[in-house]
């Protein structure tokens, strides 16, 4: 509670300092635009306040083969507050941006984003420093508020989303070409440690908009990313749930890999939007080096997914920008007297192979069916069914529900 009060005090302090520092020269307007926004008349100072609440329920089942290989399920259902987050973001003097967000789910208080950006620097574009997302993977860069499925695919277990670091990003050719590159401090692939020291990562991403037709609602984006990582702990591991956060079982896992010298991760992306239809796919491979030149000292693992979605009610997915990924969906007609809201149908196939040489982490293939009902731009109900096939070991089924509000 004391920590929460400290964070709340920081948010209030930021808010009042921006508003009152300039109120005599530039009066501010306050409005609701999918979140509470404060803005000076000359648009040099802006502030937004928002948050999200995601409440999940899940029901599990597995066959007898998995009972034998991984023990029987200790519970067949569960519920959790998946995310409970508040944030403030804004612009100071027209060219300095900031964001500060914290999450209170899981009986923990965690800083998610805490960064400062300086924009419009000649030749460089934007320089951002703080605790932020590394430019790697469209699905990881996109906010959880706007994903088509309740959980990200297996690729999320290979990628550490946020780290302390410095990021440089710029757009070229009328934003058709985007480049992001950064230096980050990290411990390992699962620490998400905001005070890490010793380990580091160099991550870069390039994306290109081959088609960007807003009138016809068509987008084709391709991207590739590379990350060189040197964990200070000298250990690395990959382990995956069956794309259900409430699952207590991780059916595939490498176990700790010791004496790690460095890692090389490569990711390929494809996004295609055509009116109400969309297709998205990524392929990620990681090479773990534990020696100098002996091939047996190198391990390689890979994962990929492909997903399609369709808005029955006529809406279309939106791409916010290269770095921020997907954007908010607004129903053509909100649920209520005026209409039914928006309905999205989605299907995803994902695969992960954690077997190589003397590591038998397992191989898993998931098929996820999703139905999303958007009551309005801030409220969404989600239903997912995951069919998990753990190669040679058995099958599992998870049905999930989410109640979500965000602004």
d(CA 278, CA 291): 43
Report, in this order, helix, strand and coil percent for the chain, each rounded to 5. 10, 55, 35
d(CA 145, CA 118): 26
| pLDDT grade for 192, boundaries at 50, 70 and 90 | very low
Q: Answer whether 161's CB lies under 8 Å from 140's CB.
A: yes
Those residues whose C-beta lies under 8 Å from the C-beta of residue 287, and which sit 6 or more positions away, are 263, 264, 265, 298, 299, 300
Would you state the pLDDT for residue 14? 53
Mean pLDDT check: name the lowest of 78-82, 111-115, 184-188, 313-317: 184-188
Whether pLDDT at 213 is above 90: yes
Give all domains of the chain, ordered by start, each with its CATH number: 2-406 (2.40.160.10)
Whether pLDDT at 21 is above 60: no
| pLDDT grade for 293, boundaries at 50, 70 and 90 | low
Task: Quote the pTM value.
Answer: 0.90
Q: What is the pLDDT of residues 105-164, one digit of tens each?
A: 988 889 999 999 999 999 999 999 999 999 999 999 999 999 999 999 999 999 888 999
What is the percentage of the chain residues whose pLDDT exceeds 70? Answer: 89
Q: Which two tokens stand for residue 322?
A: 């290269």
């Amino acid at each position: 509670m004391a920590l929460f009060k400290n964070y709340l005090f920081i948010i209030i302090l930021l808010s009042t300092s921006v508003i009152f520092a300039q109120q005599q020269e530039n009066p501010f307007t306050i409005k609701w635009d999918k979140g509470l926004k404060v803005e000076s008349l000359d648009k040099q100072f802006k502030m937004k306040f928002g948050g999200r609440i995601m409440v999940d329920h899940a029901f599990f089942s597995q066959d007898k083969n998995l009972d034998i290989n991984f023990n029987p399920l200790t519970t067949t259902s569960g519920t959790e507050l998946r995310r409970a987050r508040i944030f403030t973001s804004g612009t100071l003097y027209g060219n300095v941006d900031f964001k500060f967000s914290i999450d209170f789910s899981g009986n923990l208080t965690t800083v998610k984003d805490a960064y400062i950006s300086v924009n419009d620097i000649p030749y460089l574009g934007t320089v951002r420093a703080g605790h932020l997302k590394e430019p790697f993977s469209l699905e990881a860069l996109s906010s959880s508020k706007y994903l088509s499925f309740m959980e990200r695919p297996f690729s999320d277990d290979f990628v550490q989303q946020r780290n302390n670091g410095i990021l440089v990003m710029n757009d070229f050719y009328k934003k058709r070409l985007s480049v992001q590159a950064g230096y980050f401090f990290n411990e390992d692939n699962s620490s998400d440690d905001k005070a890490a020291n010793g380990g580091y990562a160099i991550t870069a991403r390039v994306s290109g908009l081959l088609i960007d037709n807003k009138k016809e609602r068509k987008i084709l984006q391709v991207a590739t990313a590379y990350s060189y990582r040197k964990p200070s702990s000298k250990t690395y591991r990959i382990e995956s749930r069956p794309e259900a956060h409430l699952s207590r079982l991780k059916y595939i896992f490498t176990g700790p890999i010791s004496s790690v010298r460095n890692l090389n991760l490569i990711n390929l992306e494809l996004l295609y939007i055509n009116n109400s239809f969309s297709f998205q796919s990524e392929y990620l491979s990681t090479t773990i080096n534990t020696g100098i030149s002996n091939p047996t000292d190198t391990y390689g693992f890979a994962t990929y997914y492909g997903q399609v979605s369709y808005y029955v009610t006529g809406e279309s997915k939106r791409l916010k920008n290269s770095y921020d990924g997907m954007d908010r969906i607004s129903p053509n007609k909100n649920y209520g007297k005026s209409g039914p809201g928006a309905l999205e149908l989605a299907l995803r196939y994902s695969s992960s192979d954690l077997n190589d040489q003397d590591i038998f982490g397992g191989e898993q293939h998931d098929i996820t069916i999703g139905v999303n009902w958007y009551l309005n731009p801030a409220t969404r109900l989600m239903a997912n069914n995951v069919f998990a096939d753990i190669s040679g070991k058995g099958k599992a089924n998870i049905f999930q529900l989410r109640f979500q509000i965000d602004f």
